[in-house]
Structure 1
Amino acid sequence: MAHSHDETPMVTTTNAPVPPPLPARTTASRAVVMRRRSCCVSVATWDRLFDDAYRADVSIQTSSHDVIYAHSSILGLASPVFRTMFKRQNRSKRLFIVPILGVPSEAVRVFIRFLYSSCYDENQMEEHVLSLLVLSHSYMVPRLKRECEAQLEHKYMNIDNAIDVFQLALLCDAPRLTIMCHRLILKNLKAACLSDGWKAMKESHPILEKELLETAAVEANRQKEKLKRANERKVYVQLYEAMEALVHICRDGCRTIGPHDKAFDKHQEPCKYEACKGLESLVRHFAGCKLRVPGGCVLCKRMWQLLELHSRICIDSNVCRVPLCRNFKDRAKRLKKKDDIKWRLLVRKILRTKSITGAPYFSLAASF
């Protein structure tokens, strides 16, 4: 002890008591521990315990007057509802009597078997999945409830039973399943309205039917607005591409059209601007039309609008090669406030649609 104190300067007390030795583990105790670790009970054993009802102390009464025997210790361990129920019942009788009504007796049997072995048959799950969802929620068995929700979401839910599943999901507090059913119903509203579940819901829960129809109307309006915004965005993108093509034609030239000082090559590469083809014919028409005053020709009027739109998003008219760019900028200063606001709003939407903050030819600051 003195030697250890000399090597450890932090220890100042030299007469500290010696701690007692750890209790020795005998060979027998080690063998017991090893046997416990390697021991396991197979699923077949739990199924046999349920089927044989050996020393069962619970009698489950079903709607069809069938009796299912079970063990209170297993049911109470798997479900807090059963545990509370057994605590409240009088144990003077030999059996606990538990009524489970409102669902098929076979569904009750599948439910109780799951409490024993945490297993189920696939065919039985498909047949009684709705009843199992209700039972798992009522008796607070979250593992089975999650399994039922997953099976309904990925396998068994369709437009014919979507209304029934939707109502049960609301009652059983299954938010994800509720959302999935709601989406399926709104997506196939006409088919859902013709199902038997919808007719039953209309009689028993008319308020829920009204809410579904109102939600469907809101969703339809949202889809219309979405389509409208998509079409507007498409138009704004086309206008921006036309502005790019106009600058390209007036500055660099394209195919056989361009500035007077441009030498064209017949073997030049294809133009990368898709809008050039249509804009080239429009420029040629505008150059040769005798009625190109605003309002005199529909095509010329469109060209006048493109030129004015370009002038409003052009950064510098002093170096711009597009015709009449400066003239339109000066004209914009003399426009009425109402007309000027319309043009500014159009320019802002075009530039924001393309998410431009500093393009080679245009700037978002030009719209203010």
Structure 2
Amino acid sequence: MCEAPRLGYRAGSGNAAAAAAADVDVVTTGGRRRIPAHSSVLASASPVLGSILERRLQKDRESGKPGRSVIRIRGVTDDAAAAFVRFLYAGRCGDGGEEEEDDMEKHAVQVLVLAHAYQVPWLKRACEGAIGARLTADSVVDVLQLADLCDAPRLHLRCARLLAKEFAAVERTEAWRFLQENDPWQELHVLERLHEADMRRRKWRRKREEQRVYVELSEAMDCLDHICTEGCTEVGPAGRAPAPAPCARYATCRGLQLLIRHFSQCHRKSCARCQRMWQLLRLHSALCDRPDRCDTPLCMRFKQKEQEKAAAKAGDDGDKWGLLVKKVKAARVFSSLANRKQTSTSTQC
């Protein structure tokens, strides 16, 4: 972070000795106020001011003009210009006490414009934070335009978040109505950004929902393997007594048991529940790593069919099914790692 030297002199404080040592006068709009300053401080704080001072001092030397050089800061109030010079002397924000806080509260918008124009990045970031902290639905439209003009991405992001969160309130403000009447292109730009943000949120929600489905399928595969190999409550391998108590994943396991019982008794050709069971059995066969024998029904048969399809280079359906298998495998791996981490944490505790 570029910082100006920290001096005891406060610009505009009226310190006679410091003012006598100053070699530059900062003149505000209309020339109503002159602020004595030091060229070394201004040049080290801002490359733009340094370039202006270098040209001004060289011109004064060539012309033989006596007295101090003059830098004019226009377009802002006298108090805002004085606050800007005080911040340059402070060299940073955050430890200037009540006077600095008062300057930032009153003149943050104008100081942001000056910090952008004179390339003082640390002061620009401080102004972005101060303006963003006081952002409201009434001011967000004006501040958004200011952020665009001053290339303030942090402030722009805060405005975009507030617009997305409280757009109904923003639409009722005078600033939004003025924008609609006088700058329809800017209104369209704002609405486009809100639409893009909404689409990103929807996409993220869809991804989260898809991931939840893959995790549920992974859990269903574990329960199916558990039911067919160990037996659980009402359903289990032939010749084995069912487990005396429900398993840890009772909700999923119970649902699978009811589905298996229905599958074994149903004789309809177009039954949605039976179709679901067929898909679960097929998915299990794709995930099963037992090379010889598996207790899950139809596992070996589905494996043989999948091998035949792979040899025949199945079409799009095979590609989609392969993608589903990969997603469920990944969900099983992540679930296994999460369970292992929880187990190790509880063991340490």
TM over 0.5: yes
State the Cα distance separating 1:196 from its structure 2 match. Answer: 4.5
State the Cα distance separating 1:253 from its structure 2 match. Answer: 0.5
Is the CA contact (8 Å cut-off) linking 1:250 and 1:259 kept in structure 2?
Answer: yes
Aligned position for 1:327:
301
Single out whichever of 115-124 and 333-342 deviates more from structure 2.
Answer: 333-342
Change (3 A) 1:213 1:51: farther
Q: Does 1:114 align with 2:80?
A: no
Superposed counterparts of 1:136-151, under 5 Å: 136-151=115-130
Supply the AA of the counterpart residue of 2:50.
P
Choose from 261, 278, 285 the match for 2:255: 278
CA distance in 1 between counterparts of 2:231 and 2:79 reads 81
Could you report, residue by residue, the CA deviation over 1:98-121 in whole angstroms, capped at 9, with x for unpaired residues?
543322232123223334555543
Q: Does 1:104 align with 2:77?
A: yes
State the Cα distance separating 1:133 from its structure 2 match. Answer: 0.9
Q: Does 1:231 align with 2:206?
A: no
Aligned residues: 313
Q: Does 1:344 align with 2:342?
A: no
Q: Does 1:130 align with 2:123?
A: no
Aligned position for 2:198:
220
State the Cα distance separating 1:236 from its structure 2 match. Answer: 2.1
Supply the AA of the counterpart residue of 1:253.
G
Describe the SS at the equivalent of 2:14: helix
Could you report, residue by residue, the CA deviation over 1:105-158 in whole angstroms, capped at 9, with x for unpaired residues?
3212322333455554312311210101112232344443343234334x3334
Is the CA contact (8 Å cut-off) linking 1:149 and 1:177 kept in structure 2?
Answer: yes
Single out whichever of 297-306 and 331-340 deviates more from structure 2.
Answer: 331-340
Q: Which sections of structure 1, spanning at least 5 residues, go unmatched?
A: 1-39, 360-368
Describe the SS at the equivalent of 1:58: strand
Is the CA contact (8 Å cut-off) linking 1:255 and 1:264 kept in structure 2?
Answer: yes
State the Cα distance separating 1:298 from its structure 2 match. Answer: 3.2
Aligned position for 1:62:
29
CA distance in 2 between counterparts of 1:138 and 1:341 reads 56
CA distance in 2 between counterparts of 1:41 and 1:228 reads 56
Change (3 A) 1:311 1:213: same
Supply the AA of the counterpart residue of 2:279.
Q
Describe the SS at the equivalent of 2:34: strand
Change (3 A) 1:91 1:209: farther
Aligned position for 1:37:
none
Change (3 A) 1:265 1:104: same
CA distance in 2 between counterparts of 1:327 and 1:138 reads 74
Describe the SS at the equivalent of 1:70: strand
Change (3 A) 1:158 1:207: same
Aligned position for 2:269:
294
Change (3 A) 1:114 1:321: closer
Superposed counterparts of 1:239-278, under 5 Å: 239-264=217-242, 266=244, 268=245, 270-272=247-249, 274-278=251-255
**Structure ranking higher in helix proportion:** 2
Is the CA contact (8 Å cut-off) linking 2:229 and 2:296 kept in structure 1?
Answer: yes
Normalising by the residue count of structure 2, what TM-score does the alignment of the two structures yield?
Answer: 0.71
Change (3 A) 1:59 1:217: closer
Supply the AA of the counterpart residue of 1:311.
S
Supply the AA of the counterpart residue of 2:272.
V
Is the CA contact (8 Å cut-off) linking 1:133 and 1:144 kept in structure 2?
Answer: yes
Change (3 A) 1:178 1:190: same
Change (3 A) 1:294 1:237: farther
Q: Which sections of structure 2, spanning at least 5 residues, go unmatched?
A: 1-5, 338-349
Single out whichever of 233-242 and 206-215 deviates more from structure 2.
Answer: 206-215
Is the CA contact (8 Å cut-off) linking 1:236 and 1:349 kept in structure 2?
Answer: yes
State the Cα distance separating 1:341 from its structure 2 match. Answer: 4.4
Supply the AA of the counterpart residue of 2:200.
R
Change (3 A) 1:97 1:205: farther
Supply the AA of the counterpart residue of 1:49.
N
State the Cα distance separating 1:342 from its structure 2 match. Answer: 4.3
Describe the SS at the equivalent of 1:210: helix
Is the CA contact (8 Å cut-off) linking 1:43 and 1:117 kept in structure 2?
Answer: no
